[in-house]
Structure 1
């Protein structure tokens, strides 16, 4: 069995706080391959000092930054496509709009295929870390609270043989954890 140290870095949204420009906000969380994305969500919720539950979603990306599948929270999982299918013209327009014209043709073709035929949405309560194929994974996007849109980027910092005897564990934090809601008096 494998234990992974995942770096969960707070993204630029929401712009509700003003940390020092040079100071990233992140938490390292240890999980083993049997933990689910729902259990990872619960660890992130605790690590970032949140108290008010909201909707969340994970999305996996490959090494070229192409979204490969979405994973909905169990209460919202419908089992449909990860995203709406796109027509060829829409796909080509998307490639040109993000300036991906110089990317390798195989990456563009993989993007086209995933947009024409989106994979089924995964269930975060049933999907384990091992199911994500961590050795092939580029990174994970995690969004919490679709209203305030707390964005996080998750990368693998370390992998080692072993297992955890319980829930995912926060092993390190860095930077000022912002409050879940801005104080209206500030």
Structure 2
């Protein structure tokens, strides 16, 4: 299956918080949501939805004022084929309202192994539950020494430490390992557990031993066993 390259931008942040990833085209939107959470640095604590050409995908809610299709049933390949201006949108946390633009930079790419893969990005992800982009701006101001009362309060909630430029690429790579295992390419066969290999080897040894005794099928084996039972009875 070909791959798709995406650029994920957190709107209304300055400098822009963004990430670039390559993902398998068959990934569904729920798995893409989980991947975005990991590469951006979110905690997956709130609801989400995708929007493409006026259609919404997420977790259906009877209280919603619009139809929401099940994200698990929507493939990225189908979404990428009908996006306008090469972009669709992802909303995380309906309270704080973190809006992301997902730009489809390339489709039909040669398969990467492993995949999904983090390609690049910039700036730290905002912490959860800080009041959206307004709170994020206040927090960054306080982190750089500005006297912002709201920002100082948010900074204290983070034990006085927040680096808006921090981006831990190694941590992102570690977070992607479970995804890569789930989308293992055909060229990379999963190794069998040692215990399973041991049992398989024992089975082969037993089969060879029986053949050496002239036993080639289950009927011949049953005859030999019955003969042993008869001899023991005498």
What TM bracket, shorter-length normalisation? 0.5 to 0.7
C-alpha distance in 1, partners of 2:30/2:68? 14
Listed one character per residue, the Cα deviations across residues 77-119 of structure 1 (whole Å, up to 9, x for unaligned) are 56x9983xxxxxxxxxxxxxxxxxxxxxxxxxxxxxxxxxxxx
Question: How far does residue 167 in structure 1 lie from its aligned partner after superposition?
Answer: 5.9
C-alpha distance in 1, partners of 2:113/2:25? 12
Question: How far does residue 149 in structure 1 lie from its aligned partner after superposition?
Answer: 1.1
Structure with higher helix content:
2
Highest RCO, 1 vs 2 (Cα 8 Å, sep ≥ 6): 1
For the structure 1 residues 169 and 180, does the alpha-carbon distance in structure 2 shift closer, same or farther, using more than 3 Å as the test? farther
Question: How far does residue 156 in structure 1 lie from its aligned partner after superposition?
Answer: 0.8
Structure with higher strand content:
1
Do 1:40 and 1:168's aligned partners in 2 also have CA atoms closer than 8 Å?
A: no
> 1:59 is paired with a residue of what secondary structure?
strand
2:70 to 96, 108, 123: 123
C-alpha distance in 1, partners of 2:89/2:126? 19
* Bigger-Rg structure (1/2): 2
> 1:185 is paired with a residue of what secondary structure?
helix
Q: TM-score, normalised by structure 2?
A: 0.49
1:55 to 35, 47, 51: 47
Q: How well do the aligned residues superpose, as a CA RMSD in angstroms?
A: 2.7
Find the counterpart in structure 1 of residue 230 from structure 2.
none
1:185 to 2:156 alignment: yes
Structure 1: 5+ residue stretches without partners: 13-18, 62-66, 84-119
Structure 2: 5+ residue stretches without partners: 131-153, 158-234
Do 1:39 and 1:168's aligned partners in 2 also have CA atoms closer than 8 Å?
A: no
Q: TM-score, normalised by structure 1?
A: 0.60
